[in-house]
A and B are shown apart, each in its own frame.
Chain A
């Protein structure tokens, strides 16, 4: 894992002092709320329905156990004992006081964390594959580049007042788990025919009210040119992105309005004028960072772990959990453990301080001291010996963390919705709770197989409903909440935006509707065909009939 050097430490300390001063001036009335707003937002502090909300960056989703314990401490000391892990690999605290914020930032700084640029019209926390460094299919760990971009984008003087927020995602594996095609910039690492590593640079994807799949502006950008090239993209966006209408201000709209070709040529012109001929410093910096991400000392183990296999035979519930919640590790004898934060009837992504501490302890003992936050709002132990898995499962159970639904119908992404969010048009948490109760029977979930159900409480799409296999969007119709269902979205390498199935449903009807959709799928699928592929083959009609045919 990356460790701060003296510069990084000093940087975050100074930033915290700066924020303390700004918050003091606001509390004394020397800054208006309008003036304070962009300043607090660039430090992750939102004003929500009931209180301030603080969003803390978890760069590229990687945490040490010490950092996780600090998140638990903050939850207990300054919030109500829990935190909410988000789809952008951040954590949000929902009940924060302005007066406490600088102290919280100072506490974070002690463990090399911050809330810089987790909000505001600037470059946000860079996200990546939550299995980075562990996944069997990975070409190269994308986190060093994530860290390089974190540093480069931190308080970038030119790009701190962009037309709108800016999100960058990076993946180093062919199976895209970082949703790079629906980010402002998506970076996909791949090898060319000569065996060299480079980036596919994808620009202008996004969700929100106008969901779009990004376009490729460079197929193969040499690795060392990345910073300079992104700088050119950012400059074009900063100059020409729309500022007259905040709903049209994202880079996707610029790319769409001027056209991909024109956009590319603007970027290339800007890139050509870059004065710096060598990228020696960037390369050295990337190499310096990459050394921190050297793979841990894995033991030489056999692929077959007898104790693990034995435990599966003896305990069917454990076997079920391993079936659903483990993923292939690149090293024999190891596995990736996906801890579901989606207990039946729970709030997706929420974890209590005690749960955070337990996960931190397990990571310290059994996962090279590392945890990951995944964009589907779960926590991952990336490097676990198969022989440790049974004991981990036994400890997770009593803490409510052993739900065996990873990747299944109960593993729902949901935004905070009307329960917390000032922009919401409907609640999302109760909908997700109702669906997870409806599919409480894990046999049923397993029978259905992998499906992504994503819920947003308004058109801003924080819950990724556009790219859910089943997307649910909460709207307001004359004071009543109602929910629109979309099918066929995906955020992977074959990304697609879901299509609206038909008229919306009242809140209490949603779970039944989802059940009908999934029953229809089970009836019509071919052997081994997952929901998304069945939908792509069948189209919307059978699902429409199931939902809307007059009974």
Chain B
């Protein structure tokens, strides 16, 4: 499965481990949330970078105090119609998490822009859709009414634009 980041297919440098797999000596390692919780005492000393794979029934609140130690959070879309991870993504971003946030599961290009707007930065996509389709899907809408979303160059927040003189969104996560 290709990994899509910054509108290009890239190589995934993370090692994905299950509940039982042996922890390597270093490198970038993603673990299920369960394991992160259970083994935190030893994991806190892990020399490499840590990531976590959440279920979309997990509570983001429980993850909050781990967030400063994580370099990757992966949220699943078991079906493209199951939108829980959009809200979890926002909660995680609102909690101040700034590193990589990855979507995995059943992703469609038509949802790509929404995912970026709530803060996802990388995407496990299927081979079915060529890169060009993701690239054009990324800029289908140049406007959104909602405030406080992640936006890329060329995307406009309508209400903010209409009321430039008003106070900016304090936590503008992605002003650049």
Chain A residues proximal to chain B, CB less than 8 Å: 5, 7-8, 10-11, 14-15, 17-18, 21-22, 35, 38-39, 121, 151-152, 154-162, 235, 238-239, 243, 273-278, 280-282, 284-285, 288
Asked, given contacts A158-B87, A281-B160, A284-B166, whether A7 binds B117 with beta carbons under 8 Å apart, the answer is no
Q: Which B50-99 residues have a C-beta within 8 angstroms of A?
A: 80-84, 86-88, 90-91, 94
Q: How far is the CB of B22 from chain A (nearest CB, A)?
A: 34
Given contacts A14-B141, A276-B148, A278-B167, 11 further A-B contacts (CB under 8 A): A7-B156, A10-B142, A11-B141, A38-B81, A155-B145, A157-B117, A157-B118, A159-B86, A161-B82, A273-B91, A288-B162
Instruction: List 12 contacting pairs A-B, 8 Å CB cutoff, sorted by A.
Output: A8-B158, A35-B80, A152-B146, A158-B83, A161-B80, A161-B82, A161-B83, A235-B90, A243-B84, A274-B94, A276-B170, A284-B163
- In the bound complex, residues from chain B placing their C-beta under 8 Å from that of A156 are 146
Contact status B167-A281, CB under 8 Å: yes
Cα separation A243 to B144 with both chains bound (whole Å): 27
Q: Mark B152-167, 1 if CB is under 8 A from A, else 0.
A: 0000101111110011
Chain B residue nearest in CB terms to A280: B166
Q: How far is the CB of A123 from chain B (nearest CB, A)?
A: 12
Asked, given contacts A35-B80, A161-B82, A162-B83, whether A10 binds B143 with beta carbons under 8 Å apart, the answer is yes
The answer, yes or no, to whether B171 is at the interface (CB within 8 Å) is yes
Cα separation A154 to B149 with both chains bound (whole Å): 14
- In the bound complex, residues from chain A placing their C-beta under 8 Å from that of B156 are 7
Chain B residues proximal to chain A, CB less than 8 Å: 80-84, 86-88, 90-91, 94, 108, 110-111, 113-115, 117-118, 140-149, 156, 158-163, 166-167, 169-171
Cα separation A288 to B162 with both chains bound (whole Å): 9
Contact status B141-A15, CB under 8 Å: yes
- In the bound complex, residues from chain A placing their C-beta under 8 Å from that of B148 are 275-276
Chain A residue nearest in CB terms to B143: A11
Q: Choose among B108, B140, B146, B169 the residue with the greatest number of A CB atoms under 10 Å from its CB.
A: B146
Q: How far is the CB of A496 from chain B (nearest CB, A)?
A: 33
Q: How far is the CB of B143 from chain A (nearest CB, A)?
A: 5
Asked, given contacts A278-B167, A281-B166, whether A238 binds B84 with beta carbons under 8 Å apart, the answer is yes
Cα separation A243 to B78 with both chains bound (whole Å): 12
Asked, given contacts A239-B87, A273-B94, whether A157 binds B166 with beta carbons under 8 Å apart, the answer is no
Contact status B90-A158, CB under 8 Å: yes
Q: How far is the CB of B45 from chain A (nearest CB, A)?
A: 31
Contact status A35-B108, CB under 8 Å: yes
Contact status B145-A243, CB under 8 Å: no
Chain A residue nearest in CB terms to B86: A158
Q: How far is the CB of A162 from chain B (nearest CB, A)?
A: 6
- In the bound complex, residues from chain A placing their C-beta under 8 Å from that of B159 are 151, 281-282, 285
Asked, given contacts A7-B162, A22-B110, whether A155 binds B81 with beta carbons under 8 Å apart, the answer is no
Contact status B94-A275, CB under 8 Å: yes
Chain B residue nearest in CB terms to A15: B141
- In the bound complex, residues from chain B placing their C-beta under 8 Å from that of A275 are 94, 148, 170-171
Contact status A14-B143, CB under 8 Å: yes
Cα separation A158 to B149 with both chains bound (whole Å): 10
Cα separation A11 to B158 with both chains bound (whole Å): 9
Cα separation A109 to B111 with both chains bound (whole Å): 23
Asked, given contacts A7-B156, A275-B94, A285-B159, whether A238 binds B143 with beta carbons under 8 Å apart, the answer is no
- In the bound complex, residues from chain A placing their C-beta under 8 Å from that of B162 are 5, 7, 284-285, 288
Chain A residue nearest in CB terms to B142: A14
- In the bound complex, residues from chain A placing their C-beta under 8 Å from that of B149 are 157
- In the bound complex, residues from chain A placing their C-beta under 8 Å from that of B140 are 14, 17-18, 21
Contact status B114-A157, CB under 8 Å: yes
Contact status A281-B90, CB under 8 Å: no
Contact status B86-A238, CB under 8 Å: yes
Contact status B169-A157, CB under 8 Å: no
Contact status B144-A157, CB under 8 Å: yes
- In the bound complex, residues from chain B placing their C-beta under 8 Å from that of A11 are 141, 143, 145, 158
Contact status A7-B158, CB under 8 Å: yes
Contact status B169-A276, CB under 8 Å: yes
- In the bound complex, residues from chain B placing their C-beta under 8 Å from that of A18 are 140-141
Chain A residue nearest in CB terms to B136: A21
Which of A35, A38, A239, A282 is in CB contact (< 8 Å) with B88? A239
Chain A residue nearest in CB terms to B115: A157
Q: How far is the CB of B70 from chain A (nearest CB, A)?
A: 19
Q: How far is the CB of A256 from chain B (nearest CB, A)?
A: 20
- In the bound complex, residues from chain A placing their C-beta under 8 Å from that of B82 are 161, 243
- In the bound complex, residues from chain B placing their C-beta under 8 Å from that of A276 are 147-148, 169-171
Asked, given contacts A22-B110, A158-B87, A162-B83, whether A281 binds B144 with beta carbons under 8 Å apart, the answer is no
